[in-house]
């Protein structure tokens, strides 16, 4: 005859074997701060990995697990030379395709107060240095799909402003590989930016002035406030001195461009926010 203690012990064993015991309530990732996301990416165990199936840098999707809390990350370990960049004025600059630019783009984005770039941390994978990127939550679609389906944003002016800010940021970091598939549209029609491995070459000028249409006042002031010290502190070892110096050179020219444009066309037609 089973005693009460034996019955409870057997019941506990059955529950432990049940699939229900593996259920973990979903975390509220929307409440995660950047710092918390960084700590998760740095400390979570890799439960599984799979090829994403697109992207020239062959990124990997990882399922991470930290204390039963599951979330995905994108891993990139690419670090190789690219053909030299040639500017329209004939200037030649060496280029790289590197995971460390992902981290630098995230840090510079936060320094400017944009909060558009996905959280990135430096973390080795299979013995190679690399970057782990927080898999963006609440993605509705990407810009490529929006354009293909001719979906009109509910607030067209707000969307146009976000795109203008993203283009100005891409000019600041001289991102030569922006495409519509790495512009993600998340819940609330906010823009999230991913994939910045082909950025930060040492050309100090504006690559494409056509990308500079209008600019937010906060971004313009944020760029003005950048210093050699603040940029170095933000990006750490993920940009070389030459790469950091080029950021400031491009900053000078972008700020000058928007200031001149505001004088020509009227500040109300160039600056917003």
pLDDT digits (tens, 9 = 90+) for 234-251: 999 999 999 999 999 999
Q: In which band, very low, low, confident or very high, does the pLDDT at 52 lie, cut at 50, 70 and 90?
A: confident
Q: Whole-angstrom Cα distance, residue 273 to residue 270?
A: 10
Place of tokens 């700020």: 255
Residue 202 is given by DSSP the state: S
Q: How far is CA 205 from the centre of its chain?
A: 23
Structure token pair of residue 273: 């926010």
In which band, very low, low, confident or very high, does the pLDDT at 13 lie, cut at 50, 70 and 90? very low
Residues 6+ apart with CB under 8 A from 121: 38, 41, 42, 103, 131, 132
Q: Work out the percent of the chain whose per-residue pLDDT is above 90.
A: 85
Rounded distance between C-alpha atoms, residue 142 and residue 186, angstroms: 8
**Tens digits of per-residue pLDDT, 56-110?**
667 899 999 999 999 999 999 999 999 999 998 899 999 999 999 999 999 999 9
Tokens 């080795």 locate to 124
Residues 243 and 245: their CA atoms lie apart, in Å, by 5
SS3 of 151-187: the string is CCCCCHHHHHHHHHHHHHHHHHCCCCCCCHHHEEEEC
Nearest CA to 197 out of 103, 72, 107, 65 is that of 103
Cα angle at 178 between 215 and 255, to 5 degrees?
25
Q: 25 pLDDT exceeds 90? A: no
Q: What is the pLDDT of residues 193-224, one digit of tens each?
A: 999 999 999 999 999 999 999 999 999 999 99
- Domain map of the chain by residue range? 77-117+136-272
Residue 33 pLDDT greater than 50, yes or no: yes
The Cα 95–Cα 80 span in angstroms is 9
User: What's the CA gap between 136 and 114, in Å, rounded?
Assistant: 16
Q: If DSSP codes are grouped into helix, strand and coil, which group holds residue 26?
A: coil
pLDDT class of 27 with cuts at 50, 70, 90: confident
């Amino acid at each position: 005859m089973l005693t009460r203690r034996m019955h409870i012990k057997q019941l506990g064993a059955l529950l432990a074997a049940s699939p229900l015991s593996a259920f973990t309530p979903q975390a509220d990732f929307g409440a995660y701060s950047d710092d918390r996301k960084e700590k998760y990416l740095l400390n979570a165990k890799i439960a599984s990995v799979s090829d994403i199936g697109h992207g020239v840098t062959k990124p990997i999707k990882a399922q991470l697990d930290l204390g039963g809390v599951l979330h995905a990350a994108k891993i990139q370990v690419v670090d190789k030379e690219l053909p030299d960049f040639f500017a329209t004025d004939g200037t030649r600059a060496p280029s790289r395709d590197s995971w460390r630019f992902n981290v630098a783009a995230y840090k510079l984005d936060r320094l400017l107060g944009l909060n558009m770039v996905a959280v990135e941390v430096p973390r080795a994978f299979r013995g190679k240095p690399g970057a782990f990127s927080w898999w963006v939550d609440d993605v509705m679609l990407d810009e490529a799909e929006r354009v293909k389906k001719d979906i009109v944003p509910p607030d067209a002016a707000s969307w146009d402003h976000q795109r203008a800010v993203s283009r100005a940021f891409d000019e600041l970091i001289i991102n030569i590989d922006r495409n519509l598939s790495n512009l993600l549209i998340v819940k609330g029609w906010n823009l999230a930016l991913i994939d910045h491995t082909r950025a930060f070459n040492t050309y100090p000028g504006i690559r494409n002035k056509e990308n500079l249409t209008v600019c937010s006042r906060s971004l313009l002031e944020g760029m003005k406030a950048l210093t050699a010290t603040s940029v170095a502190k933000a990006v750490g070892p993920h940009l070389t001195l030459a790469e950091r110096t080029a950021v400031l050179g491009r900053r000078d020219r972008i700020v000058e461009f928007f200031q001149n444009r505001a004088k020509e066309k009227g500040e109300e037609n160039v600056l917003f926010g």
